[in-house]
Amino acid sequence: MHTRRLSMLILGVWIGLTIAMSVVAIQNFRGVDRLLEGPAPQTYLLMLRIGSEGARIFLRYQISELNRFFFDWYGTAQVVLALSLGLSLLFATNGKKVIMSLSLALLIIVVLQKVYLTPEITLLGRQLDFVPPSVPLPARSRFWAFHTAFSVSEVLKVALFLVTGSLILKKSESRRRRRHRSTEPEAAGVESD
């Protein structure tokens, strides 16, 4: 019983981390624009020296590096969470094939993200950091292809979260009902005495 709760806790932490990373990645880049639209007086003086476009390029580079660090850490955390979830589900479900298959699929996705997609996105992103968006480069289309693949894998992962969580809850509910039914005759016998 407690292993199902642990599985749900791991799943909940993982879902929360996934949502947080999505928000962080988007808001970091939007933060650059917010900063440039209303800079503090000290920042404004620095921006005059390097120019508005120079400040934008530098700040976007800094945010890109920060996001790269976060996503590398996120990948490692996800592998640990996937392994923990798989182990807890092994005990929670007595190794039921469907749930274990879902757990394995989650592990494969996060290992693919950590080992292949994230390093490629990082490499290609660094090649593009100081190249204006208007300049066509093959690296740009590759970057967006990998970025899209990462995004699709995130959506697939969330779908697997939902299916896995619903199966765990369904299994818990059916076990609770069975336990409730098995105690009903005893309770009825006690009342009739």
Please report, for the chain, the start and end positions of each structural domain, with discontinuous segments joined by +: 2-173
* Distance between start and end Cα atoms, the chain: 32
User: Which tens digit of pLDDT belongs to each residue from 24-75?
Assistant: 988 988 888 888 888 888 887 888 888 888 888 888 999 999 999 999 999 9
User: Which tens digit of pLDDT belongs to each residue from 156-193?
Assistant: 999 999 999 999 888 766 666 666 566 655 555 555 44
* pLDDT value for 50: 86
Burial class of 159 by CB neighbour count within 10 A (0 to 12, 13 to 18, 19+) = exposed
pTM given for the model = 0.82
Token pair for residue 167?
A: 């199966």
User: Which tens digit of pLDDT belongs to each residue from 98-147?
Assistant: 999 999 999 999 999 999 999 999 999 999 999 888 888 999 999 999 99
Other Cβ atoms within 10 Å of 86 Cβ, number: 18
* pLDDT value for 175: 62
* pLDDT value for 95: 77
Token pair for residue 133?
A: 């968006």
Q: How far apart are CA 55 and CA 86, in angstroms?
A: 46
* pLDDT value for 191: 52
